[in-house]
């Protein structure tokens, strides 16, 4: 998805000289084309993410549309104060791009496991939080970020759900996408882990369990209407995220639904429950270790669908 992001940003920068890209000394092979084609629209701030965000805010106040780019934890966590006090408070056009969301850099350990970013970034006023599941969503969200004022946070990870765009489908910012129709359960995910959600839905279909699958590519703003409809039209709701369950996607969904008085037949969050992810390994390996892969998602559905059947039969 990062290559797709840069490809689209190059197209946008060619049309708009006010678009700037600032990197925290990262991604030179990926960023080479942008740097070579638009040297006046590119800065390397070095391994100094706080300064990177300060530069971005200053440029945004002068009318530029700025994208900052680094590994997930470094582009938002190390410079959180600057994002909050400088960019967000002044509602600047600063777009924070994090590559390596979730367990993308799994072999590098806890310092590179980005499993709290959705919670932290969605808590900030004036910040929109985006987590595409595939290349098409990445392209469309990048386009929207360049057009929309204010601060955005784009979470990219190394995995992808494949090509999910249906023939004739158009993208709507802030609108959840229905990737599968179903009636027994709704599976709502964000980011590349939606690929595992789709695998789980396919496996469940073989067992006669019908799963609706939603891609919540915008975590903030959240499409509460589509989620509420899913609660009314399916047996229950399960959220899936490569992220801690504390305050992340599942928390956002629960807050929005219960505040509107909408209660699903059952509700469960699939996410990191084990505290810090101290194990190291590939992204897919860590999903299996921490119960986030397709098998774990399918098991969570089976358990709750069966419980619901027993309750209704009692």
Superfamily of domain 2-156: Thiamin diphosphate (ThDP)-binding fold, Pyr/PP domains (3.40.50.970)
CA-closest candidate to residue 47, choices 21, 76, 70, 81:
70
Burial (CB count within 10 angstroms: exposed 0-12, middle 13-18, buried 19+), residue 234? buried
**pLDDT beyond 70 at 20:** yes
How far is CA 188 from each of CA 53, 180, 223, rounded to the nearest angstrom? Answer: 32, 11, 11
Burial (CB count within 10 angstroms: exposed 0-12, middle 13-18, buried 19+), residue 281? middle
Region 208-225: what's the mean pLDDT?
98
**pLDDT beyond 80 at 182:** yes
**How much is the mean pLDDT over the chain?**
95
Ranges for all domains in the chain classified under CATH 3.40.50.970: 2-156
The CA dihedral of 177, 238, 265, 201, to the nearest 10 degrees, is 70
Question: Looking only at Cα atoms, what is the longest distance across the chain?
Answer: 70
Q: What is the pLDDT of residues 50-107, one digit of tens each?
A: 999 999 999 999 999 999 999 989 999 999 999 999 999 999 999 999 999 999 999 9
CA dist 15 and 283 (Å) reads 36
Q: What is the DSSP string of 177-221?
A: EEEE--SSEEEEE-STTHHHHHHHHHHHHTTT--EEEEE--EEES
CA-closest candidate to residue 5, choices 162, 215, 157:
157
Question: Cα(first)–Cα(last) distance of the chain, in Å?
Answer: 48
Write out the catalytic residue numbers. Answer: 49
3 state DSSP class of 287: helix
How far is CA 252 from each of CA 155, 161, 184, rounded to the nearest angstrom? Answer: 16, 22, 22
* pLDDT value of position 241: 98
* pLDDT value of position 29: 86
* Banded model confidence at residue 314, pLDDT cuts 50, 70, 90: low
pTM, two decimals, is 0.95
* pLDDT value of position 309: 78
CA dist 5 and 65 (Å) reads 15
Is the CB of residue 281 less than 8 Å from the CB of residue 107? yes
Dihedral sign, CA of 69, 90, 150, 128?
Answer: positive
Is the CB of residue 250 less than 8 Å from the CB of residue 221? no
Ranges for all domains in the chain classified under CATH 3.40.50.920: 177-313
The two tokens of residue 218 are: 């915008």
Is the CB of residue 268 less than 8 Å from the CB of residue 300? yes
* pLDDT value of position 195: 97
Provide CATH code, domain 177-313.
3.40.50.920
User: CA-based angle 24:55:94, to the nearest 5?
Assistant: 85
What's the DSSP call for residue 116? S
């Amino acid at each position: 998805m990062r290559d797709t992001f840069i490809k689209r940003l190059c197209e946008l920068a060619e049309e708009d000289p006010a678009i700037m890209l600032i990197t925290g000394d990262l991604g030179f092979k990926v960023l080479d084309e942008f740097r070579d084609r638009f040297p006046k629209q590119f800065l390397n701030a070095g391994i100094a993410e706080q300064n990177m965000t300060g530069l971005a805010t200053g440029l945004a106040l002068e009318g530029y549309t700025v994208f900052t780019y680094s590994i997930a934890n470094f582009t938002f966590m190390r410079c959180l104060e600057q994002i909050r006090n400088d960019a967000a408070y002044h509602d600047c056009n600063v777009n924070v791009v994090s590559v390596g969301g979730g367990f993308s850099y799994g072999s590098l350990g806890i310092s590179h496991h980005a499993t709290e970013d959705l919670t932290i970034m969605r808590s900030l006023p004036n910040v929109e939080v985006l987590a595409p599941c595939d290349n098409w969503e990445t392209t469309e969200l990048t386009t929207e970020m360049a057009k929309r004022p204010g601060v955005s946070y784009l979470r990219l990870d190394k995995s992808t759900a494949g090509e999910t765009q249906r023939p004739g489908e158009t993208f709507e910012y802030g609108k959840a996408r229905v990737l599968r129709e179903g009636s027994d359960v709704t599976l709502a995910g964000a980011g590349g882990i939606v690929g595992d959600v789709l695998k789980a839905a396919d496996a469940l279909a073989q067992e006669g369990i019908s799963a609706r699958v939603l891609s919540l590519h915008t975590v903030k703003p959240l499409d509460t209407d589509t989620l509420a409809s899913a609660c009314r039209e399916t047996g229950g709701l399960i959220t899936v995220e490569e992220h801690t369950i504390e305050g992340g996607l599942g928390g956002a969904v629960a807050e929005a639904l219960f505040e509107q008085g909408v209660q699903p037949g059952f509700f469960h969050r699939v996410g990191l429950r084990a505290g810090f992810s101290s194990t190291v390994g590939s992204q897919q390996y860590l999903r299996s270790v921490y119960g986030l892969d397709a098998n774990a998602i399918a098991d969570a559905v089976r358990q709750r669908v069966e419980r619901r059947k027993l309750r209704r039969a009692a």
